[in-house]
Amino acid sequence: MKATLRYLAGMAGPSGFGSNSTAEQVTEDCSSFLPSAALTALITGASSGIGAETARVLAKRGVRVVIAARDLKKATEVKKNIQKETPKAEVILLEIDLGSFGSVQRFCSEFLALELPLNILINNAGMFSQNLEFSEDKIEMTFATNYLGSFLILDLFLIRVYIKIEIIVIYSLINTHHRSAYILWMLLLCYYIM
Ligand SMILES: NC(=O)c1ccc[n+]([C@@H]2O[C@H](COP(=O)([O-])OP(=O)(O)OC[C@H]3O[C@@H](n4cnc5c(N)ncnc54)[C@H](OP(=O)(O)O)[C@@H]3O)[C@@H](O)[C@H]2O)c1
> What value, to the nearest 5°, has the Cα angle with vertex 119 and ends 188 and 153?
95
Q: How far from chain centre, in Å, is Cα 19?
A: 19
Pocket test for ligand 1, best of 127, 129, 135, 150 (most atoms within 8 A of CB): 127
Q: Collapsing DSSP states into helix, strand and coil, what is residue 65?
A: strand
Distance 47 CA to ligand 1 centre (A): 9
pLDDT of residue 138: 95
Domain ranges (residues) in the chain:
39-193
pTM: 0.84
90 C-alpha to ligand 1 centroid (Å)? 23
- Please give the pLDDT value at position 194: 37
Q: What is the predicted pLDDT for the residue at 72?
A: 97
Please tell me if the CB atom of residue 126 comes closer than 6 angstroms to any atom of ligand 1. yes
Collapse the DSSP code of 7 into the 3-class scheme (helix H, G, I; strand E, B; otherwise coil) and give the result. helix
Ligand 1 close to Cβ of residue 68 (< 6 A):
no
Dist CA 121 CA 16 (whole Å): 25
CA distances from 168 to 10, 96, 107, 133, 165 (A): 26, 19, 19, 30, 10
Q: Does the domain made of 39-193 have the CATH classification 3.40.50.720?
A: yes
User: Angle, nearest 10°, between helix axes 49-60 and 178-193?
Assistant: 40
CA of 124 to the centre of ligand 1 (A): 7
Q: What pLDDT does 31 receive?
A: 67
19 C-beta closer than 6 A to ligand 1: no
Question: Which residues of the chain are modeled with pLDDT < 70?
Answer: 1, 31-36, 156-194
Report the pLDDT value the prediction gives residue 9, as an integer from 0 to 100.
85
pLDDT at res. 17: 85
